[in-house]
Structure 1
Amino acid sequence: MLERAMAEWGGEEDLWVFGYGSLIWRPEFDFAERRPARVHGWHRALKMWSRINRGTPERPGLVFGLLTGGCCRGVVFRIPREHGADTLARLWSREMSMAVYDPRWLTAHTPEGPVRALAFTLSRKSPSHTGELTEEEYRAIFAFASGIYGTTLDYAHRTLEELQRHNIRDRNLERLLRLIQRSHAEPQLETTKDKP
């Protein structure tokens, strides 16, 4: 898949990469330019199982995937052509170690015009796609899931903070994080022993 992505990029122009989750706040590669961007036909969703980074096989956590439908605001990074191949290889070791994502070249609309950018999408047929989760399931994952890079809850908060820093509103993520706030705010029933 890396060879295919390299061939589809071609190496003749600068490389563009679309970030919609942790790539926004932890790209781990050098870039020459970053722009706000929007892709149509895809949306950011906290519906991808994470059994290493933000969870364990016994208690999986969650990370974002890019699913079909809707629209997604994020950022695009421009990597100079001469660093493109090395950056792609590093991205692959980070994003594709488990071969879960479907890398795609998408049109990302920016204030300076459209660019063709690599995005890591998620198929609903993938075993890593969670399907629909209930509010109770999200609460439990936020409360307990943790992996080598920390908790799912921290990952979700960091992503929301960075989106807000880029003036990107994600109402669904805001709603999910309110679930854990509500569960902490709910009064705990106190048990008292019967007095003689």
Structure 2
Amino acid sequence: MKPLRTWIPEQRDGAAMMAETLADWRAQGERPDLWVFGYASLVWRPEFEAAESRPGRVHGHHRGLQMWSRVNRGTPECPGLVFALLSGGSCDGLALRVPHEQVEALMPRLWAREMPNPVYDPKWLRVQTPQGSVRALAFTLSRRSPSFTGQLTPERYRDIFSRSCGRYGTTLDYARRTFEGLKAHGIHDHALEKLLRLAD
């Protein structure tokens, strides 16, 4: 996929990004299955039936609660947070396999879920799984994006956990569900555990 040079929402064409992603998928070979890397809510609420789910690790990116949410987990007046896949480090999550015959129908639904506003940068990342590595679609966030929070203080996290709520609930509930969802698959996110202690 070609890197996007701008992060102004009106200059980012979500439909074109989906079309490019599908073209990249088709170019992988003769009707390949699609792998999607889940690192947050895709772990505990994927909204599609995966034919296979494997624990997997991505090197070069990490999970961070550092993306502003002004609708789903907050409001414009009191922004909340959602997770993003940011450059640097590594991330444990799930590799979810979609059979090739379902990909064309699933992609618009997946896009509506992950990219209602074209904020994320979809990328193909190599995921290491117990059964070998797979090339998976992942939704990443650039540090140049206006949705990237930068480094937040413990006090700011504490305030967001106590107040921010959007159409799908609170930031705190979202973070706790992600922590528990990961743990259910044998993944212990120590950084997230430390953050959640701020809400106690």
Alignment TM-score, normalising by the size of structure 2: 0.89
Alignment length (residue pairs): 181
Q: Is there any run of 5+ residues in structure 2 with no aligned partner, and where? A: 1-16
Root-mean-square deviation over aligned CA pairs = 0.8
Separation (CA, whole Å) in 2 of partners of 1:31 and 1:171: 27
In the TM superposition, 1:25-104 aligns within 5 A as: 25-104=44-123
Counterpart of 2:93 in structure 1: which amino acid?
A: G
The sequence identity of aligned pairs, in percent, is 61
Q: Distance in 2 between matches of 1:88 and 1:17?
A: 11
Residue 148, structure 1, aligned to residue 164, structure 2: no
What CA distance in whole angstroms lies between the structure 2 residues aligned with 1:149 and 1:108?
29
Matched AA of 1:88: M
Displacement of 1:166: 0.9
1:121 has 2:140 as partner: yes
Residue 130 of structure 1 corresponds to 149
The 2-side partners of 1:87 and 1:21 are apart by 19
| Equivalent residue, structure 1, for 2:128 | 109
The question of 1:2 aligning with 2:21 is answered no
Cα shift at 1:71: 0.5
Q: Deviations over 1:72-101 (max 9, x none)?
A: 000011000000111111110111111110
Cα distance in structure 1, aligned partners of 2:127 and 2:143: 22
The SS at the match of 2:194 is helix
* CA distances 1:26-64 after superposition (whole Å, capped 9, x unpaired): 000121100000000000000000000000011000000
Q: Deviations over 1:148-178 (max 9, x none)?
A: 0000000000000011111111111001100
Runs (5+) with no aligned partner, structure 1: 182-196
Task: Give the TM-score of the pair, scaled to structure 1.
Answer: 0.91
Query: How far apart, CA to CA, are the structure 1 residues paired with 2:132 and 2:68?
Result: 34
